[in-house]
């Protein structure tokens, strides 16, 4: 671990620094750029402002920094044993977000979103969740700021992966299996398909429907949008400083897993800032699962963020709003699109996509766990696998940074399945 560095006082907004401004979100009906008024029924006012901000730095309010202090600065760990296990001349650093109370980076934006909603006098937030990482982070954050939280969790996960549901409930959140009889969209699906396992798309519709109908409620999203990416930049801002404190001038390559994109963008954008200002030549690898390769195999175009088409149109790399990825264990990477800001930096050449197979990523996860002690979230293992493959081929020392977005303590059954040889390869599963 490097020397401790202070917690950032500001988030970094890459939109202000890029040579080409990012394309705006469009209204799904008019296809005109969305206005703050369009978004007001769903999001807190400060978040709407941040979504379109062109300021380079946005101050982190003191109450948010107070909560961050519980686990931030998150450690930057030199992975010496992992280097040895790989036999690489590289110096590998991991930025570890698993020290947050819920065990992942999701809390960075959850706390900010809950805070700004509380500032607006909002008393209830609705959201959807799949395996439950985002739902538990928001549940924690809402408990902090005295906001009621209702979560629609994809029914298949609600039934088969109860630990994160129990976590949401422990924080005081209310969790419904989705589809639920509580909403019109839920009732409609249940009438047609009473045994449906549910999907994130349906769960979004339910959460949005409830928030839109209640003037005291708002909706919250855990990735993709610009304000979410903004909040996650604390990861990279700390990492850039910690790397210097550890005696490294710059990173040569940064590896992060990319699902909706906020984790990678949060880590990478402060490194890209150094590139944009001529202070480094760092390359960024966006590592996605072979089962859901939006950057490497998707199209770059306007698409909806959800299945039902309720969200604004976002310019992004997408596999199509109807794409249903295979049920891989890295649930946090099963999203059809990619954060528009991250997609934009891919198009501008600052970020490169790379797809990694599920079994390969678990093998890297086990190797990492035995070397460094931390069992990575299956999502993060994708970044570890890509870094390992790269590092093994090096003949000269390079400085590599891995975004370790969370731990895998609640994903241990998946590790067990992998070690029993029960996990299938996902290469070539994309259709």
Residue in 327, 338, 289 with CA at minimum distance from that of residue 423? 327
Smallest gap from residue 368 Cβ to a copy of itself (A)? 10
Helices (H), 87-183: 107-119, 133-145, 155-160, 162-170
Q: Do 411 and 105 contact (CB within 8 A), yes or no?
A: no
Q: Which residues bind a copy of itself (CB under 8 A)?
A: 1, 4, 67, 69-71, 75, 77, 81, 99, 101-103, 107, 140, 143-144, 162-163, 166-167, 169-172, 366, 369-375, 409-410, 412-413, 415-416, 419
DSSP-assigned beta bridge partners for residue 289? 356
Please provide the DSSP assignment of 6-35 as one string.
Answer: PPPSEEE-GGGT-SSPPPPPB-TTT-SBPP
Record the tokens describing residue 268, joined without a space. Answer: 């990478």
Task: Name the minimum Å distance from CB 94 to a copy of itself.
Answer: 10
Closer CB to a copy of itself, residue 51 or residue 411?
411
- Helix or strand or coil: residue 54? coil
Instruction: Name the burial class of residue 179, with classes exposed (0-12), middle (13-18) and buried (19+) by CB atoms within 10 angstroms of its CB.
Output: buried
Q: Provide the phi-psi class of 172: left if phi over 0, else alpha when psi is between -120 and 50, else beta.
A: left
Triad 317, 47, 239: Cα angle to 5° = 70
Contacts of 69 (CB under 8 A, 6+ apart): 7
161/283 with CB nearer a copy of itself:
161
CB count, 10 Å around CB of 32?
A: 10
């Amino acid at each position: 671990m490097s020397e401790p560095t202070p917690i950032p006082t500001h988030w970094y907004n890459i939109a202000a620094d890029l040579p080409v401004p990012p394309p705006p979100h469009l209204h799904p009906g008019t296809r005109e750029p969305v206005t703050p008024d369009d978004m007001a029924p769903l999001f807190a006012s400060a978040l709407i402002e941040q979504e379109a901000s062109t300021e380079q730095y946005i101050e982190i309010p003191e109450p948010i920094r107070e909560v961050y202090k519980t686990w931030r600065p998150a450690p930057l760990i030199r992975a010496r044993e992992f280097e040895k296990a790989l036999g690489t001349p590289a110096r590998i650093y991991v930025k570890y977000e698993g020290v947050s109370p819920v065990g992942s980076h999701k809390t960075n934006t959850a706390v900010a979103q809950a805070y700004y909603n509380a500032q607006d006098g909002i008393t209830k937030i609705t959201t959807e969740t799949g395996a439950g990482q985002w739902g538990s982070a928001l549940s924690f954050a809402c408990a902090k700021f005295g906001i009621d939280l209702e979560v629609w969790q994809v029914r298949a996960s609600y039934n088969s992966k109860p630990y994160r549901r129990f976590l949401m409930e422990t924080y005081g959140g209310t969790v419904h299996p989705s589809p639920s009889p509580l909403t019109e969209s839920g009732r409609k699906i249940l009438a047609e398909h009473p045994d449906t396992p549910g999907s994130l798309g349906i769960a979004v519709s339910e959460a949005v429907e409830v928030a839109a109908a209640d003037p005291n409620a708002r909706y919250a999203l855990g990735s993709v949008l610009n304000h979410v990416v903004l909040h996650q930049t604390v990861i990279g801002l700390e990492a850039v400083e910690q790397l210097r404190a550890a005696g490294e001038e710059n990173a040569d390559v940064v590896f992060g897993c990319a699902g909706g994109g906020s984790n990678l963008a949060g880590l990478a954008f402060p490194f890209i800032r150094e590139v944009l200002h001529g202070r480094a030549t760092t390359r960024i690898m966006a590592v996605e699962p072979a089962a859901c390769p939006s950057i490497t195999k998707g199209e770059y175009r306007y698409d909806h963020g959800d299945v039902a088409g309720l969200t604004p149109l976002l310019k992004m790399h997408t596999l199509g709003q109807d794409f249903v990825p295979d049920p891989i264990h890295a649930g946090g990477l099963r999203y059809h699109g990619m954060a528009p800001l991250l997609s934009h930096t891919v198009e501008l050449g600052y970020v490169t996509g790379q797809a990694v197979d599920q079994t390969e990523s678990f093998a890297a996860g086990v190797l990492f766990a035995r070397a460094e002690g931390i069992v990575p979230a299956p999502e993060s293992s994708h970044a570890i696998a890509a870094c390992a493959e790269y590092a093994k081929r090096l003949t000269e020392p390079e400085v590599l940074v891995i975004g370790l977005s969370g731990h895998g303590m609640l994903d241990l059954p998946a590790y067990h399945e992998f070690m029993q040889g029960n996990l299938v390869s996902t290469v070539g599963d994309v259709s």
